[in-house]
Structure 1
Amino acid sequence: MDYYIFEIQQFCHRIRSLNKVIKAYDEKIEQAYRSNEDYEMFQSFPGAGPSIGPRLMAFFGGDRDKFKSVNEVLKISEIAPVTIQSGKMNIVRRRFLCDRFTQLSFVEFANNSIRSSIWAHEFYYHKKALNIPHFTILRALAYKWIRIMYRCWKTRTPYNEKTYLEVLEKRQPAWFQKFVN
């Protein structure tokens, strides 16, 4: 019986040591994130927060010539769907063989944005009313957010919800009609 107590104590000691290392890394990441010139821009995205903001910033990086177009960003982020065509058959599906961490970072951000962004909230609940599965909606929302992020990143402009709502009022997408009226 003493053997198990000793083993449990060893595991607890390892966990405490790892927690100290993780805390040190978190502090370094936070410091690098806050000192980056793009901090204000990535912090402006509703729902980015202290854990997802640095992940988004790391994905985009500081080199504005890294991505030639938003479509390239969508493919590299693994959010863009895959289209399979053969004759009359046309299938559009999500990517399965991909960098799950990057894909999940954008999906997590999209999920957080539902609580912080008016239009993201309306988009999500409009699609939910159409019985579209939760993660399918989040990937579609992430797709929209990446397009917005790319534009902000390229122009070094922080995101402004009011500006985007004005754009949506002009475009009047179907899911936004109910929100405006």
Structure 2
Amino acid sequence: MPLPAGREAAAIQAALREDRLGVAAPVADAYAAAVTAHARLLIALNEQINALEGQVKAHFLAHPDAEIYLSMPGIGAITGARVLAEFGDDPTRYACAKARKNYAGTSPITRASGKVHSVQARFVRNNRLADALQRQAFCALQNSPGARRYYDRQRARDMDYNPALRQLGNRLVGILHGCLKTRTTYSEATAWAHHANPAAA
């Protein structure tokens, strides 16, 4: 027979206020063994992640394009390795910056039919590359004044967060293409010279 509501609540509160909710010793031992096993798995996994990260960094830093990638705002060794791996290192693969942007999926698609005109994001794209470039764009906001101004300008046009970040990523892909083509490292002044004027797009 159930307890009245007031007495049932009091019984629950009393149980919760006890030092602990006791379980049978075999059950407690089983939980302890499971937690210990999970902790050891996590420790081993973290060790393997650290070892893999070290190898990725070593191989990336040995690549002739690494200096250019690392000069870009928002790119560290791991993000740089991801972007380089997805773009590839064939200097003839992308005929122009637009081709690289299209492959990256950062350039928008413009659709027009009659009086209807819309600009949409590309959803058919390399998701691994898109994720790395999104991460780069986000990090670039913290250490590139030019990237920050460019992003803020997109937001001032009533563009939402993700489209503005994607637009910044698109701009950064174009800058990267130019640096790789001319074999020069990133320059904050050169990269954003056109956008230094608030009236410029």
Verify same fold: TM over 0.5: yes
Which residue among 73, 76, 79 is the counterpart of 2:100? Answer: 73
Q: Which runs of 5+ in 1 are unaligned?
A: 177-181
Is it true that 1:46 corresponds to 2:68 in the alignment?
no
Partner of 2:173: 146
Deviation at 1:173, TM superposition (A): 5.7
Cα shift at 1:105: 1.2
Residues 106-159 of structure 1 show CA distances to partners (whole Å, capped at 9, x for unaligned) of 111111111211211111222223332111111111111111111111221111
- CA-CA distance at 1:44 after TM superposition: 0.8
Contact 1:107 1:142 in 2 (8 A): yes
Partner of 2:128: 101
The CA RMSD over aligned residues, in Å, is 2.0
Give the counterpart letter for 1:174 in structure 2. Answer: A
| Superposition pairs of residues 2-13 of structure 1, within 5 angstroms | 2-13=29-40
Alignment of structure 1 residues 163-178 onto 2, 5 Å: 163-168=190-195, 172=197, 174=199
Of the two, which has the highest radius of gyration?
A: 2
| Secondary structure at 1:153 match in 2 | helix
Listed as ranges, the gaps of 5+ residues in structure 2 are 1-26
Rounded to whole Å, the distance in 2 between the matches of 1:86 and 1:137 is: 25
CA distance, structure 1, for counterparts of residue 45 and residue 73 of structure 2: 31
Seq. identity, %: 26
Task: Using the TM superposition, give the Cα deviation of residue 175 of structure 1 relative to its aligned residue in structure 2, in angstroms.
Answer: 5.3
CA deviation string 1:72-102 (max 9, x = no partner) = 2111111112233334333221123433221
One-letter amino acid of the counterpart of residue 199, structure 2: A
Displacement of 1:17 after TM fit? 1.5
State the match for 1:137 in structure 2. Answer: 164
Larger deviation: 113-122 or 50-59?
50-59
Structure 1 CA distance for aligned equivalents of residues 192 and 48 of structure 2: 43
Indicate yes or no: 2:43 matched with 1:16. Answer: yes
Q: Which letter maps to 2:76? A: G
Going from structure 1 to structure 2, the CA distance change for 1:168 and 1:97 (only over 3 Å counts) comes to closer
Deviation track 1:21-73 (CA, whole Å, cap 9, x = no partner) reads 11111000110111111111111112212332222222332210111222221
Q: What is the number of equivalent residue pairs in this alignment?
A: 174
Higher-helix-fraction structure: 1
Distance 1:57 1:42, change over 3 A: same
Whole-Å separation in 2 of the counterparts to 1:82 and 1:163: 27
Distance 1:129 1:88 in 2: 25
Q: Is the 8 A contact 2:86 2:128 kept in 1?
A: no
Query: Aligned runs of 1:83-94 on 2, under 5 Å?
Result: 83-94=110-121
Greater relative CO, 1 or 2 (CA 8 Å, sep 6+): 1
